[in-house]
């Protein structure tokens, strides 16, 4: 029998003809991404030093979680990181000013290449699966192992194949597709998800990354897209390195094959505390008062997300008593959003547009929730306490639904406000 | 053989419940005091060294936060879940915490039962009720790391990383 995309990449990078579910494989790591939190684990401010780096040209360092530093401690940790970068002559370094959420910076520069292996000590690393890349969030010591030895291990899981067919209706986004999958099929722990289908030509890289990034929230091991012209053209403009994309074999073995008719997807909301088995149509919670609306993160801080938010709020005002906080995922996206006029429309409507950072998504800074507050968020996670106080209620939705809710002051259907095409 | 008193947890227990935001940047000793403070306040004061955690599906969903390290640090001898989130499995391997997957385990145990676990043949026995289950075998390499302090001793032995030293905060430019 043939192999799925992820099985083919893991076979190729572990030097084997075939891998199967249940195998544990040791693979060569092609790209090792470190973010600022990594320097809690090693370096001058950490508990130990890295003494050797396997290949500095494979390492990318990107500051994102605590930027600019909100405390003296994080400032010291970032300074230690700069020392490490100098010591090992790492050239791909995105310091403050050229920074962004690491997964989005990886996309900006196409550091993730088809058929390769990429690891990072942040769970949303699966984002780069949109690049036909075996990208996975690993734990802190795994990043040290990969940087020092050039290798890591993976447990090969079974794969669920999703065929995305047709086109999304206006005002409906891949976040809604994610909420549909999480609400209908639940978690995918120990399994991979693979995406293809006839709808791919209409899904840009930003839309695909929203879905693969949320693969972490499905608890999937890997989330990978087929390599098509949309992907190959995107890479051609950004990264000249050679690569070999991996297509699924026609006789690949899947645990299940599921078809998603994109035209049938409607705006959904995940209720507080979980996204698994927790999605409802917006109408069921319409009218719930909110104090904060957030659009950002590695899943929803793309230029497309900012465009949708700007179109929804354009010429209107955020409701009194509501904070609309918008965080572009990278400094590059921020600049593009300024040039396109999105930032002006958002700020004119009363939104705060912050610097690029993981920020409020993980309850770090720039939009932390207080006790008893209610937030609707287009970000990655709505766990209890995720964005601040554990008594805060976090609803999860698409950028269009979040922007519409910010205008209404209560959870609202984006159709009431939406005027443009996604 | 590992024998210990059982604590029961449900499905989809996430990393932010093990390491809440307010201790995200705190030292390990501080982090362990906050384990499950949002979903089960006071549990860290009740759990005893050598106890065993038994849970439902997808244990450890969420981020890369080292929840397994905190579970080890509160004194748990090991854990068994219906299924483990892949990142939690990695943290368990890396920080030297024995974590197993066993279908049916969450219904086979009640809180306070005594569990007896063999890492030789992966049997999970409820000494209180007599029920015996079989866990999924853990690949030998990973089990060795879980039982021997995780990844750091390996990296230290190879000269890739230095041994632990007390953290030096600050220091400024040299």
| Interior/surface letters A104-142, b for 16+ CB within 10 angstroms, e for the rest | bbbbbbbbbbbbbbbbbbbbbbbbbbbbbbbbbbbbbbb
- CA distances (Å), A198 to each of A37, A160, A163, A189, A243, in order? 39, 17, 7, 27, 24
Q: What is the pLDDT of residue A1?
A: 86
pLDDT at A103: 98
Surface-to-core class of residue B40, CB atoms within 10 Å of its CB (0-12 exposed, 13-18 middle, 19+ buried): middle
Q: Kindly tell me if the per-residue pLDDT of A422 is higher than 80.
A: no
Q: Does B171 touch chain A (CB under 8 A)?
A: yes
Enter the tokens of residue B32: 């362990």
Q: Which residue of A has its CA nearest to B83?
A: A189
pLDDT (0 to 100) of residue A419: 57
Q: How far is Cα A67 from Cα A78, in angstroms, rounded to an integer?
A: 9
The 10s digit of each residue's pLDDT in A388-402 is 999 999 999 999 999
For residue A369 the two structure tokens come to: 């929730």
B38 lies in some domain:
yes
* C-alpha closest to that of B146 among B80, B102, B55, B83: B80
> How many residue contacts between A and B have a Cβ separation below 8 Å?
145
Q: Between A258 and A47, whose confidence is greater?
A: A258
Asked if the C-beta of B160 comes within 8 angstroms of chain A's C-beta atoms, the answer is: yes
Q: Is the pLDDT at A420 greater than 70, yes or no?
A: no
ipTM of this complex prediction, to 2 decimal places: 0.92
**Nearest-neighbour CA in chain B from A382: distance (Å):** 10
Q: Which of B58, B87, B161 sits opposite A187 (nearest CB)?
A: B58
Total structural domains in chain B? 1
pLDDT at A44: 86
Q: Kindly state whether residue B138 falls inside one of the protein's structural domains.
A: yes
Q: Which H or E run includes A292?
A: strand A292-295
The candidate with the shortest Cα–Cα distance to A99, out of A90, A89, A109, is A109
Calculate ∠ Cα B116-B119-B125, nearest 5°.
25
Strand pairing category for A223-225 and A192-196: parallel
Distances (CA, A) of A121 to A32, A33, A41, A131, A405: 9, 8, 10, 19, 33
What three-state secondary structure class fits A268? Answer: strand
Give the residue ranges of chain B where pLDDT is below 70: 166-174
Residue B77 included in any domain: yes
Is B114 a member of any domain? yes
Any A CB within 8 A of B66 CB = yes
How large is the average pLDDT for residues A199-206? 98
> What pLDDT, on a 0 to 100 scale, did the predictor assign at position B169?
52
The verdict on B49 touching A (C-beta cutoff 8 Å) is no
Instruction: Give the pairing of strands A268-270 and A279-281.
Output: antiparallel
Q: What pLDDT is stored for residue B167 in this prediction?
A: 55
What is residue B174's predicted lDDT score, i.e. its pLDDT? 43
Which whole-number Å values give the CA distances from B88 to A121, B9, B69, B100, in the listed order? 12, 15, 10, 11
pLDDT tens-digit readout, A261-318: 999 999 999 999 999 999 999 999 999 999 999 999 999 999 999 999 999 999 999 9
CATH number (domain holding residue B104)? 3.20.19.10
What does the pLDDT read at residue B172? 47
> Given 3-state DSSP classes, what are the helix, strand and coil percentages for chain A, each rounded to the nearest 5?
35, 20, 45
Cβ partners under 8 Å of residue A205, min gap 6: A107, A130, A230, A231, A234
Structural domain includes residue B149:
yes
A161 φ, ψ to 5°?
A: -100, 125
What pLDDT is stored for residue A46 in this prediction?
86
Boundaries of domain holding B19? 2-157
Give per-residue pLDDT as tens, A319-328.
999 999 999 9
| Mean pLDDT, chain A, whole residue set | 96
Full set of structural domains in chain A with CATH: 5-261 (3.30.499.10), 269-416 (3.30.499.10)
Alpha helices in B49-169 (DSSP H): 67-73, 86-94, 105-108, 140-147, 151-157
Query: Does residue B103 form part of some domain?
Result: yes
pTM greater than the 0.90 cutoff:
yes
Going by C-alpha positions, the residue among A373, A332, A327 that lies closest to residue A352 is: A327
Contacts with A, B 83-122, CB within 8 Å: 83-87, 89-91, 94-95
Q: Is residue B168 part of a domain?
A: no
- For residue A285, the model assigns a pLDDT of 98
Determine, for residues A141 and B39 on separate chains, whether the beta-carbon distance falls below 8 Å: no
Name the residue among A33, A35, A76 with its Cα closest to residue A356. A35
The span from the CA of A315 to the CA of A311, in Å, is 9
Nearest to B6 by CA among B133, B104, B113: B113
Q: How does DSSP classify residue A22?
A: T
A26-69: per-residue pLDDT in tens? 999 999 999 999 998 888 888 899 999 999 999 999 999 999 99
User: Whose CA is closest to A208, among A186, A228, A191, A236?
Assistant: A228
Mutation to test the A interface, candidates B23, B41, B90, most A Cβ within 10 Å: B90
DSSP sequence for A302-315: SHHHHHHHHHHHTT
Q: Is residue B174 part of a domain?
A: no
């Amino acid at each position: 029998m043939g192999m799925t995309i992820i099985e083919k990449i893991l076979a190729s990078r572990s030097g084997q003809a075939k891998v199967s579910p249940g195998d544990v494989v040791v693979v060569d790591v092609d790209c090792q991404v470190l973010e600022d939190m990594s320097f809690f684990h090693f370096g001058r401010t950490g508990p130990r030093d890295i003494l050797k780096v396997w290949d500095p040209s494979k390492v990318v360092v990107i500051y994102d979680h605590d930027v600019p530093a909100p405390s003296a401690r994080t400032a010291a940790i970032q300074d230690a990181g700069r020392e490490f970068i100098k010591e090992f002559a790492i050239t791909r370094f995105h310091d403050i000013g050229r920074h962004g959420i690491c997964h989005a910076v990886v996309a900006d520069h196409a550091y993730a290449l088809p058929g390769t292996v990429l690891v990072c000590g942040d769970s949303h690393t699966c984002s780069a699966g949109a690049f036909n890349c075996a990208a996975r969030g690993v734990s802190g010591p795994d990043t040290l192992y990969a940087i020092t030895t050039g290798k890591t291990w993976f447990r090969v899981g079974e794969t669920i194949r999703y065929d995305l067919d047709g086109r999304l209706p206006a005002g409906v986004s891949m976040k809604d597709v994610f909420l549909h999958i999480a609400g209908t099929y639940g978690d995918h722990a120990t399994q991979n998800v693979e995406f293809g289908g006839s709808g791919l030509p209409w899904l840009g890289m930003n839309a695909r990354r929203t879905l693969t990034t949320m693969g972490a929230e499905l608890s999937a091991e890997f989330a990978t897209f087929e390599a098509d012209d949309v992907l190959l053209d995107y890479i051609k403009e950004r990264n000249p390195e050679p690569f070999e994309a991996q297509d699924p074999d026609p006789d690949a073995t899947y645990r299940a094959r599921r078809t998603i008719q994109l035209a049938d997807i409607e705006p959904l909301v995940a209720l507080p505390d979980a996204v698994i088995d927790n999605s409802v149509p917006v109408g069921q919670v319409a009218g719930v008062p909110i104090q904060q609306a957030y659009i950002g993160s590695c899943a929803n801080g793309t230029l497309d997300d900012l465009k949708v938010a700007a179109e929804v709020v354009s010429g209107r005002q955020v409701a009194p008593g509501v904070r609309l906080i918008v965080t572009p995922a990278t400094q590059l996206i921020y600049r593009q959003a300024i040039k396109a006029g999105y930032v002006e429309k958002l700020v004119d409507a009363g939104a705060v547009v912050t610097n690029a950072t993981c920020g409020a998504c993980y309850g770090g800074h720039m939009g932390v929730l207080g006790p008893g507050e209610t937030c609707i968020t287009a970000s990655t996670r709505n766990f209890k306490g995720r964005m601040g106080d554990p008594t805060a209620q976090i609803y999860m939705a698409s950028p269009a639904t979040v922007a519409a809710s910010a205008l209404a002051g209560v959870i609202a259907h984006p159709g009431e406000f939406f005027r443009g095409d996604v | 053989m590992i024998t210990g008193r059982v604590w029961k947890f449900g499905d989809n227990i996430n990393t932010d419940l093990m390491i809440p935001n307010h201790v995200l940047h705190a030292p390990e000793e501080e982090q362990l005091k906050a384990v499950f403070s949002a979903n089960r306040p006071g549990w860290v004061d009740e759990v005893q060294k050598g106890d065993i955690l038994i849970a439902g599906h997808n244990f450890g969903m969420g981020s890369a936060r080292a929840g397994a390290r905190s579970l080890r640090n509160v004194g748990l001898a090991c854990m068994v879940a219906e299924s483990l989130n892949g990142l939690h499995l990695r943290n368990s391997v890396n920080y030297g915490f024995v974590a197993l997957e066993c279908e049916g385990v969450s219904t086979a145990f009640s809180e306070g039962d005594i569990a007896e676990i063999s890492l030789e043949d992966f049997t999970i026995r409820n000494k209180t009720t007599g029920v015996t289950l079989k866990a999924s075998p853990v690949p030998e390499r990973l089990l060795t790391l879980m039982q021997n302090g995780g990844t750091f001793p390996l990296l230290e032995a190879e000269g890739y990383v230095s041994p632990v030293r007390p953290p030096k905060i600050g220091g400024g430019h040299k």
